[in-house]
Structure 1
């Protein structure tokens, strides 16, 4: 399956020769906890998010991905945390990630069981910083440092 995915990525890169645009969502519950998802492909904790589909805005992508990956509802977009575009930021493919901090409500539930194996809310002191998928550690650090990054 991994080989097929790598071939698919290579074909997409050859056809489109452009980075893929996606989102990274920092969902903050009313009590201040941050919700992470556990990825099925590598077992690591990560921020929810995903690729912007044709015809979607960043905000509609955030709303869709939140429901699919966490079961939560967007109540407010807080701020842009950063735009991350380094070619090596994600080992799978070259992507541009727009990281957004949002307020959410609801009960956590995984709808996309093919990609996600778990969802959990963490206090800041409990976050598995240093062990997150892709460059999600940086997204969270930029969020906590209250900076907006272009990298």
Structure 2
């Protein structure tokens, strides 16, 4: 019995004491505009994305999260922008985020009304920089500067 309890404690420790893996998508429309979502919980603009589900790879999660949050379809992942793992990058929990640039298409429409209040595309000249959610300002700057970052 004691051995079984120790095993359960070890498994729970592994599950709950490790970072969660997620993805952020920098969605580029055919006209070059970048798509952002307005988060319902904070009211801040941010990039679409979320947690990778069990059994998913990053590309599949990116496509699913993009569609769930924006109504858009992922056409092609262009490049890796970075892997962001700072323990304080997400105020809710320790998460590791894989950020990708992606070609997208379709009509923008909020799908997940519990998380997202608005979807909007911005030209590079009108980006809502400076107070994006999480560490999305850093991810966006790395993208705009053509960097691939491990942070």
So what's the TM-score if we normalise by structure 2? Answer: 0.90
1:144 is aligned to: 144
Aligned residue in 1 for 2:28 = 28
Secondary structure of 2:143's aligned partner: helix
CA distance in 1, matches of 2:109, 2:42: 20
Deviations 1:74-103 (A, max 9, x none): 111100000000101111110000000000
| CA distance, structure 2, for counterparts of residue 16 and residue 68 of structure 1 | 26
Please give the residue correspondences for 1:44-63 in structure 2 after superposition, counting only pairs within 5 Å: 44-63=44-63
Tell me how far apart the structure 2 counterparts of residues 13 and 34 of structure 1 sit (CA, whole Å): 39
Tell me how far 1:14 sits from its aligned partner: 8.3
Q: Distance in 2 between matches of 1:54 and 1:71?
A: 22
Report the Cα distance in structure 2 between the residues aligned to 1:118 and 1:96, rounded to whole angstroms: 25
CA distance in 2, matches of 1:36, 1:134: 13
Any stretches of 5+ residues in structure 1 without a counterpart?
A: 1-11
Q: Residue 61 of structure 2: SS of its match in structure 1?
A: helix
Q: How many residues align?
A: 140
Is 2:115 aligned against 1:102? no
SS in 1 for 2:62: helix
CA distances 1:32-91 after superposition (whole Å, capped 9, x unpaired)? 000000000000000000000001110110111111100001111100000000101111
SS at match of 1:131: coil
TM-score w.r.t. the length of structure 1 is 0.90
Show the counterpart of 1:41: 41
- Paired position in structure 1 for 2:70: 70
* CA RMSD of superposed structures (Å): 1.3
- Note the 1:99-138 alignment, pairs <5 A: 99-138=99-138
Q: 1:146: how far off?
A: 0.4
Q: Which runs of 4+ in 1 moved over 3 A?
A: 12-15
